[in-house]
Amino acid sequence: MIMYSVVKRKKIIVMGFMATCPISGVLWQHLHYLLGLKKLGHDFYYIEDTARLPYNPSNFDVSEDFTYASGILKTLFERFDLGSDKWGFCARYLKEKPSAGLSFEAMKTLYKEADAILNVCGSQELHDELLQSQRLLYIESDPAVEQIKLAKGNTKTHEFLSAHHALFSFGENLGKPDCGVPETDFVWHTTRQPVATEYWENNNARSSTGVFTTIANWETGGKKDIEYNGETYLWSKNPEFHKFVQAPGLCGEPFELCTDMKKPDEKETFLKNGWQLSLPHKLSENIDHYQEYIWNSKGEFTVAKDQYTRLNTGWFSDRSACYLAAGRPVITQETGFSKVIPTGLGLFSFKNLIDIKAAVAEINGDYDKHSRAAASLAKEYFEADKVVADILTKAGVT
């Protein structure tokens, strides 16, 4: 269980990529850190000071124009009552470094004054102004890749991580005897995705009439695969889904994949095995559609990336945490997470098709019980203020 204490009001900056990649899953991922800081009563800010060109999901465009990116931040901060003067975007890819929201000068002052700067997903690049801070906290959502780079002697990775005061990872099994991720000279603190559960509670009656769904990126073309000790560990999820393609037929009910599956023969394989397919574009562009999709689901059935399962990292999905918070039971592939988050009520881990069939039968046998259990798990293990307070405590910020 996460331990946390009441903390003195601190000045905290969250940095990430929700303006340059404003798709729903990314937006919620970052918002939960901010909502957790708000609940704790801290003086918080969100800054994106980046050389990355922003992506516009409404037209699939990547360009120097940051109108959409800054507009997203402005809208979200107004909607969630986070403060109109609490966000800033700097287009560092342009010579004059134009900004929206906070001025560039204000950002530089905040870097010096902040008690902590959370580098969510390690996505914020380092630059001279940011390096004036002695309290950079690296928050890693994808365990194994950076640790393997370190084990292979990657100097750029070593230099980047060394600039941070403390390192955190969703790999809650790192350093354990049954974890295949190589140990390094760095100390890794465990953490997990925060979720502000009050924003996910669904007032509608819980219902088992929907289907098990998931929202997933399908294929990355091997760009993030990584080799270690003669083994190649895969990033794309599609190979893992193929291993369990027979699950709907075995369970006697359809499952739905909301993903951009492009290959006709692959689509045919899944359709023949009882899968429903839908496209994620509208969900990605609109956080309300994303949330409604989860609310309208019976629960989540999903897999984990090969990198997480074979190396037994202890990783758990930020999206699955949202399903739990919405009172939607989750059936997900074992990564070692069940050592720290209990399974069997509202949450089930699986290694094979038999496990999946048993989990579906258990949920269908008393859906309301598992729905309540799912919501309870979210509050106990993923509540945003608890997770964020735990990060600050472990980093010595309190």
The model's pLDDT over 357-371, given as tens digits with 9 standing for 90+, comes to 999 999 999 999 999
Q: What pLDDT, in 10s, does the model give residues 129-183?
A: 999 999 999 999 999 999 999 999 999 999 999 999 999 999 999 999 999 999 9
- Where residue 280 falls among pLDDT bands split at 50, 70, 90? very high
Does residue 380 carry a pLDDT above 60?
yes
The confidence score (pLDDT) of residue 222 equals: 73
- Domains in the chain (CATH in brackets) are 11-141+384-394 (3.40.50), 197-381 (3.40.50.2000)
List of residues 6+ apart from 387 with CB closer than 8 A: 2, 36, 191, 192, 193, 194
CB 385 within 8 A of CB 42: no
- Average pLDDT of 187-211? 86
Distance (Å, whole) CA 113 – CA 129: 12
- pLDDT of res. 208: 65
Average pLDDT in the chain: 95
Dihedral, CA atoms, 360, 364, 367, 373, nearest 10 degrees? -30
Name the pairing type of β-strands 116-120 and 275-278. Answer: unpaired
Q: Which amino acid is at 377?
A: L
Over pLDDT 70: what percentage of the chain?
Answer: 97
**What's the whole-model pTM score?**
0.96
Nearest to 172 by CA among 331, 312, 306: 312
